Amino acid sequence: MEPVHTMIHADGRKQLITGSLFLALAAAFTIGLLMVEISLNSLYMIIFTAAMVFSGTSLIRTGFHDLEKSKTPNPFSSDETEKWTESLPPRMYLGTKLSKQFEADLYDLDGLSHGRAIEKATKLDHWFARIESILLSGSVRPAQYIVQQVDGTPLYQIERKGGFTWRSYVKRYEGDYVAYTVREKNKTTGQTVFRYKGGTDSEWRAEGDSVIGHFTVQDQNGETWAVIKRGALMKDAPEHFGQMPGFLIEWKKKDEIPSSLIAFLFIIQSRDFM
C-alpha cells in the first residue's frame, strides 16, 4: 500500500491548484461586478463569488497544511479499534437531520441513535458551506469529522479532502492513520465502487448504481454485510425519516459489526448529505 504521506502530498497539490482556480474565478467575477449596474443578478453574483472565495481559501489552506504534513514519513497502521457493538437491529437508517446538516446519526427504527459523526468546524464555516452546496450543487470543500459511539466516545477522525476528486482518510482518534477511501468505476459493469482500504490490507467495498443510490457492502472476502439504499423508507419506519436525507441499511450480518464498517458508511453519507 502506498504510504500516507505520499498520498496526502498528491492531495495537497490538487487542492492548491483547485483553490487557486476558484480564487481566480472569484477575482474575475468581482471585476465583472464593478463594471455593471447593481441588480438582482448582481446580488446573486456577489453571493456566488463569496462562496467561491470561501471554497478557494479552504482548499488552499488545507492544501498547504497537507504539503507540510506530507514531509513526515507516515505509513498506515493496523486498526485495533474495538467492535462497534455486539449486535445491531436488522434494519436501520443512516440520516442527517435538516436542522443539523453537519451531523449524521445511525438510527434504529424507533428513532434512537446508535452512533454519530460530527463535523469539526465553526458556525461561520457551516453558513458558507450551506451556500456553497446550493450554488455549486455539491461540496468541494475539505472537511473533518469525528465518529462517536452512542455514549459519545470518539473512535475515529475522518479527513475528507476537497476538490473534484474523491478521497478520505481515517485515523484513530488522536492516533495513526488506519485507512483511506476512494471512489472508482467498475469498467465492466459501469457501476460506482467505494473502496475502504486498511493498513493491513483489510477492505470494505460498496458497489452499486450511484443514480438510484443502492449499494451492496462487502468485505475483502466477498461476503455481503449490508445493502444500503439512498432515501428508501419502510412502512414501519418513523415518519420523520421521510424528511431526513440518508440511507436505509439492511444488515445481512448484524452481530459483531467492525467499527471500520460504520466509519465507511459515515464517509459515504458525508459525500452525499454533509
> Looking at residue 40, what is its pLDDT?
64
CA 235 to chain centre: 29
Closest residue by Cα to residue 167 from 1, 22, 15, 31: 15
Confidence of residue 60 (pLDDT cuts 50, 70, 90): very high
Confidence of residue 211 (pLDDT cuts 50, 70, 90): confident
**Residue 119 burial by CB count (10 A; 0-12/13-18/19+): exposed, middle or buried?**
buried
Q: Which CATH class is domain 85-273?
A: mainly beta
CA distances from 253 to 84, 88, 199, 218 (A): 13, 9, 23, 10
pLDDT at residue 238 is higher than 60: yes
pLDDT at residue 226 is higher than 60: yes
- pTM score of the predicted model: 0.88
Closest residue by Cα to residue 180 from 162, 208, 159, 165: 159
Residue at grid coordinates 452546496: 133
> Looking at residue 13, what is its pLDDT?
95
Cα angle: 173, vertex 105, 126; to 5 degrees: 75
Q: What average pLDDT does this structure show over 106-135?
A: 79
Q: What average pLDDT does this structure show over 243-258?
A: 88
pLDDT in tens, 160-206: 998 887 799 999 988 899 999 999 999 888 899 999 998 665 689 99
State what percent of residues in the chain have pLDDT above 90.
44
Domain boundaries, the chain: 4-69, 85-273
State what percent of residues in the chain have pLDDT above 70.
86
